[in-house]
Structure 1
Amino acid sequence: MPIDPTLPYDDQNVFAKILRGEIPAKKVYEDDYAVAFHDIAPQAPHHILVIPTGAYVSWDDFSGNASDAEIAGFVRAVGAVARAAGVVEPGYRLLANIGVDAGQEVPHLHVHIFAGRPLGPMLAR
């Protein structure tokens, strides 16, 4: 079910539970600002999710309420994860679904890193 990004943060969402260690995840990166792990239902040969450690529902929530250190740390983490996964060449796609129209399913900001094959056009036509 798509999420309304204007709703308050739900601390029982799956990513909040991963951050608290209540649900296992195959982590590939972790620091004070971000955690990255393999998606349990990959949509590409490489499909990694990167989430901020703070309780943010959407990009709007994050950019408006996170500290400068959190924002910089999260953005740097996305780049570090892509480099560590070896997907910078020949390329990768970043995707952040925000809100109902975009199909956001978990009410915690997250960025998908897709790579490992040609990914086609940005949107279905």
Structure 2
Amino acid sequence: MAGCVFCGIVAGDVPAFRVADEPDGVAFLDTRPVFKGHLLVVPRAHLVTLADLPSESIAGYFGLVRRLAVAVEAGLDAGGTFVAMNNKVSQSVPHLHTHVVPRTKGDGLRGFFWPRTRYADDTEARSYADRVAAALPGSA
């Protein structure tokens, strides 16, 4: 898609430090990493959100994400990884992308990047669970 920086990277028109270039997606270093070695994994096609990823592409795309998470850990001697995705809100580039961030014990990253909350009680928690379950595609 014209004007999409990630489409430009996939096409080879925008320079990037590529880690993987496969039919299921392209992975490259984030230019503003949380920690050095932070990757972005994008599908080759211009898709904006996870909901846009065709069902037949899920295994290939997330298989690549999984392999890259293993490679980040092994290749960077990391203690683990943080794998995350934003959809619409906080999505800095409107092209589906998954972050694979190397982690080490004591790296200073605490949980998620936003404040946490609690449910008032079990009834409120159940109401949220029920609303999501009712909206789940394919649910009866």
Determine if the TM-score, normalized by the shorter chain, exceeds 0.5.
yes
Aligned equivalent of 2:65: 78
Distance 1:55 1:90, change over 3 A: same
Aligned equivalent of 1:3: none
Determine which of 81, 105, 110 is the counterpart of 2:92.
Answer: 105
Aligned equivalent of 2:81: 92
Query: Which 4+ stretches in 1 moved above 3 angstroms?
Result: none
Gaps of at least 5 residues in structure 2 are 116-140
Give the structure with the higher percent helix. Answer: 2
Write the distance in 1 (CA, Å) between the matches of 2:86 and 2:111: 16
8 Å CA contact retained: 2:7, 2:45: no
Aligned equivalent of 1:6: none
Check if 1:53 corresponds to 2:40. Answer: no
User: Superposed, which structure 2 residues align to 1:19-58 within 5 Å?
Assistant: 19-58=10-49
Q: CA deviation at 1:89?
A: 5.9
Write the distance in 2 (CA, Å) between the matches of 1:55 and 1:95: 19
**Bigger Rg over Cα:** 2
User: SS at 1:46's partner residue?
Assistant: coil
Aligned equivalent of 1:5: none
CA RMSD of aligned residues (A): 1.8
Check if 1:13 corresponds to 2:4. Answer: yes
Identity %: 33
Write the distance in 1 (CA, Å) between the matches of 2:85 and 2:18: 19
Whichever residue aligns with residue 80 of structure 1, its letter is R
Question: Normalising by structure 1, what TM-score?
Answer: 0.78
Structure having greater relative contact order (Cα 8 Å, sep ≥ 6): 1
Write the distance in 1 (CA, Å) between the matches of 2:102 and 2:70: 12
8 Å CA contact retained: 1:45, 1:116: no
Q: CA deviation at 1:92?
A: 1.0
Instruction: Figure out how many residues of one structure are paired with residues of the other and give that number.
Output: 110
User: SS at 1:108's partner residue?
Assistant: coil
